[in-house]
Amino acid sequence: MSRRTRVFACASGTLAAAASTMADPANPFATRVVAFDAAPGQFVQNALFNNPASALGPPAGAGGLATPDNAKVVSLGSFGGSITLGFSRPIYRNPFNPRGMDFIVFGNAFFVASDPLRRHCEPGVIEVSRDDNGNGQADDPWFLIPGSHLAGPLARQVRLWESVSLNALWVPPGRSGSWTTSGFALPNPPFSASPVQINAGPAESIWGYADLAPAVRLGDLDADDVVDDPLADPARFYTVPDDPFTPGISPGSGGGSSIALSWAVDPLTGVSAGLDRIDFVRISTGVDAVHPILGEVSTEVSAVSDVTPNYVPDVDRSGTVDVTDIFAFLNLWFAGAGENGGADYNASGATDIADVFAFLNDWFSTP
């Protein structure tokens, strides 16, 4: 009996003593609208663009790199218009997540003339919150994703709206008289000058905001605008992050704006939030501008997804796959560490016996 076979027998005997229950995979996409407060805008009374439920589930995946994907989006309207989304499970800061990214925000941005150095985008500022009090409500502290152009300490800016001074078609349903929206304003330049952003040099100059990069067509495996796999699973395809620091879309990624929880800061101090997980994502239009032809700059949202981890049998990341990785994995598994610790090895959303066999299969397959 080989060393690996003996280890497997020992592990199997240990696992036989542990009770486990198979569970259905959890949804990696936003599953509920916690709050929606659109600011005035040209689409806020249009039924194709004012349904906040359009931000739930996966993106439509129909637009491609050079065409806006408007099949399933909600418009947030002008500055400070916002949507808050919740999930069926926490989004974790997972060391096994590809490219160090933890979640992805999708909108209807697109590359102008297929040129990744030029894009039509209407950036939204992203905030995150953890349900520390466990009440399922988004009433715990919020933290800012500062991205490439914001730096703390920052204060929210308030915008006053008067319905009598607005085009009646731009007034959000249910609004009248005076009201306010608030958010973190992106600087001008470059954001308010035009919805077409121009990036110079080999590195991406703008990152960390919603509605910056297009969603790839569902099944386009190499980001060339041609569908390679018409049967692609959205729950897998749109949970692979793009490299946000390189122009264009990384092959194998579903596109969108990739976000790392490590970026989150306390907006009042600029100090890192040190979040291990989040339960809520809030997206707000970050630009206060009206284009003379295209209308107001308004962030659109079609989906928010949890990144699928890329687990490897070198669990302790020592550089060698050996018996210590088995014990490291089993310690995580028995502790119920789930995605945060690497025990949900098959990324199903449940920590169960299937994860053990998935891990052992990889471990035995490693030369």
pLDDT digits (tens, 9 = 90+) for 56-71: 999 998 889 999 999 9
**Cα(348)–Cα(88) distance, rounded to whole angstroms?**
13
- How many residues does this entry show for the chain? 367
Torsion of CA 237, 241, 243, 245, to 10 degrees: 130
The pLDDT assigned to 17 comes to 36
For the segment 101-115, what is each residue's pLDDT rounded down to a tens digit?
A: 999 999 999 988 888
What confidence category does residue 23 fall into, taking pLDDT thresholds of 50, 70 and 90? Answer: very low
Name the DSSP class of 21: -
Q: Specify the amino acid at residue 349.
A: G
Give φ, ψ of 12 to 5 degrees.
Answer: -65, -40
| DSSP assignment string, 224-276 | SSS-S-TT--HHHHTTSPP-TTSSS--TT--BSEEE-GGG-B-TTT--B---S
For the segment 111-165, what is each residue's pLDDT rounded down to a tens digit?
A: 888 888 788 889 999 999 999 999 999 999 999 999 999 987 899 999 999 999 9
What confidence category does residue 201 fall into, taking pLDDT thresholds of 50, 70 and 90? Answer: low
> Is the model more confident about 2 or about 182?
182
Cα distances (Å, whole numbers) of residue 22 to 135, 257, 315, 326, 349: 26, 33, 23, 21, 11
In Å, the largest CA–CA distance within the chain is 83
Torsion of CA 158, 84, 256, 115, to 10 degrees: -30
> Is the model more confident about 13 or about 176?
176
Q: Taking the domains of the chain in order of start, what are their residue ranges?
A: 3-25+312-365, 32-306
Confidence check: pLDDT of 297 > 70: yes
